Amino acid sequence: MRDYIDEFLDAKAVEEGAALNTLRAYKNDIKQFLSSVIQQNVENITTEDIEQYLKELKETGNTPKTLSRKISCIREFFKFLQSENIIKESPANKLRTPKVGKSLPYFLTAKEIKKICAVAKSKKTFSFMRMHVMVKLMYSSGLRVSELVALPENAINYDMRQILICGKGSKERIVPVTKEVISDVLEYLEVRNKFIGNRKSSWMFPSEKSLSGHITRDGFFKSLKKLAAKAGISPEKVHPHILRHSFATRLVNNSADLRSIQKMLGHENIVTTEIYTHITTERLVDEVKKRHPLTQQQKENE
């Protein structure tokens, strides 16, 4: 069974260029599923076995979004087994995916971003200056946190004000960076070079503690929470991906072309990008409710 899982993950990595986090999620979901079924041979697993497993997941409080992800993983796994002639027919073909409502991502305002950056810049230590540049880069260019922490030192073209990003599935894209951020990066590089000293590092954001040689996602996550708290913003509502949401929301609110935003974010499907138009719509509805004279008159009559 373990060999089947390994072969499936290898196929996903090689043929589709699946990211490391995606492969880990696949592995965890498949192992959880296979450990729950009675049969020892994968050839004997039936549709009823899968449905019983999903029923148990639902009863233990798993959300439709989680169930949908697990169904997708199981479906892909059996599809692979069928393509390799390990099984004749996939028992997951007839599974129905639960409807998942779209949740609108929360975003930070420009004022809140400025507060976080101000706190980071007020400290002259390397770690704070590193965070200052990282927050600004993510907010101004919409990088994923995985792209940000592993950004090579030579990824920025300072004359063209562009960043070459190696995104999901090793797909490259170029995103613009503002003149102000370029200035911040150049100032940071002086501190960075002193920090690494005689050591060699190809990373824009090096770390002495990390085995990878650059700051980790977890390290950035914890530092961002601390900055938010110091800036008077609730740490519970601040996480790395929110900076990317804030970048996209700012562009949509300023009438940027949706296709351009899609390219900058590195979204495969524009449907993923369109969620930010819903944020704008919700905001407009709230503004009408708060400020339209007819709404105000109705409240007075009540």
Residues labelled catalytic = 144, 168, 241, 244, 267, 276
Answer left, alpha or beta for residue 214, where phi above 0 means left and psi between -120 and 50 means alpha.
beta
CB 240 within 8 A of CB 217: yes
Task: Measure CA 2 to chain center.
Answer: 29
- Angle 217-230/110-122 helices, nearest 10 degrees? 100
The structure tokens listed for 231 are 């800036």
Terminal CA-to-CA distance of the chain, rounded, Å? 67
Cα separation of 159 and 281, whole Å? 37
CB 216 within 8 A of CB 210: yes
| Rounded distance between C-alpha atoms, residue 198 and residue 282, angstroms | 52
* CA pseudo-torsion sign 19, 196, 179, 276: positive
**Dihedral class, residue 152 (left if φ above 0, else alpha if ψ from -120 to 50, else beta):** beta
CA atoms of 115 and 123, how far apart (whole Å)? 13
Q: How far apart are CA 1 and CA 282, in angstroms?
A: 48
Buried b (16+ CB within 10 A) or exposed e, 293-302: eeeeeeeeee
Main-chain dihedrals φ then ψ at residue 38, nearest 5 degrees:
-75, -40
